[in-house]
Amino acid sequence: MNRGGWAALAALLLILQAPASRAQDIEPRSYSNAPIGVNFLIAGVAGTRGGLSFDPALPIEDPSLRTGNAVLGYARVIELGGQSGRVDVILPYTWLSGDAVYAGAPVERVVDGANDAVFRLTANLYGAPAMNFGEFAAYEQDIIVGASLRVVAPTGQYDNTRIVNIGGNRWSFKPEIGVSKAAGPWTLELAAAATFYTDNDDFNNGKTRSQENIYTLQAHLIRSFRSGIWASISATYFTGGRTTIDGARANDLQQNWRLGGTLALPVDRYHSVKLYASTGVSDRTGNDFDGLGIAWQYRWGGGL
């Protein structure tokens, strides 16, 4: 493979973000091409400060919470209908501490444990043909259209006597469609998604907590360099997610903006490092947070 081909492959640092923010995730390069059969192993750490990043609709006020997240992820590039696709598995572990106000009374929480596992299937529908390693060297992106389905399973730590938990004790499903357009070293990506939740039927000593769908829009402006380095500036907006507890509907409609940035640095043919950060711009419910993380990636297979 020529130097340009190696740089293109090095730039494919897959974004297996620590799923601390779930519906609010900022994920550039979700719809990109890669050789069929390449595997990715990702290990990372991330932290948040402020509101509860993985459940911003939780009925708490004045949150001062901190989380640390260790993440192990695996992805494999597969062929789907003549186009490239990807399967991801993300297994996080979270440390949480801090305090907030619930129903007018202060609550404090210090806990650690497994967070909810994340599974995702991504299918490029147009513009990302399935190619072997040798064919990929000559590939140049124009327009890619893709779709994905992300499933969060209730595998995380959960205590029904506590308001603040690591796990959500419910399933969520997030279908998404995205478009990626390359022009020279620049790529513009747009994505729209909806997140659907099952009920948590054991919230706060047996109450039933329901949540309406959250609708998300994302935009990413990505700059790639010949060395394989790439950087992005991203924005996401999400709305919806109003909750109901035992039939009582809360005034917690979300209409929030977040900004983020990502820097990916290839180390060699097999290894890459990624730095990412995000912050809230506006938050209707006051449950905002800042996040910072670093991830290491190892790739193998597919003729690499």
**Domain 3-300 sits in CATH 2.60.40.1180:** no
pLDDT of residue 3: 44
Residue 114 to residues 57, 68, 69, 110, Cα–Cα distance (Å):
21, 12, 10, 14
Mean pLDDT by 10 residues, the chain (304 residues): 51 52 71 94 93 81 91 96 96 94 89 96 97 91 97 96 94 97 96 97 96 96 92 95 93 90 93 93 77 94 85
Q: Look at phi and psi of residue 246 and say left if phi exceeds 0, alpha if psi is from -120 to 50, else beta.
A: left
Nearest C-alpha neighbor of 152 from the set 40, 22, 45? 22
Q: Is the dihedral of CA 166, 168, 171, 175 positive or negative?
A: negative
pLDDT of residue 301: 93
Residue whose entry in the numeric block shows the structure tokens 């327009």: 143
Please list the alpha-helical segments (H only) found in the chain: 3-10, 133-136
Three-state DSSP state, 4: helix
Taking the domains of the chain in order of start, what are their residue ranges?
3-300
Cβ-in-10-Å burial (0-12, 13-18, 19+) of 159 comes to middle
pLDDT of residue 221: 98
pLDDT of residue 11: 56
Nearest C-alpha neighbor of 8 from the set 145, 126, 135, 181? 135
pLDDT of residue 114: 96
Encode 211-220: b = buried (16+ Cβ within 10 Å), e = exposed. bbbbbbebeb
Sheet holding 248-249: strands in order across? 200-203, 207-211, 243-245, 248-249
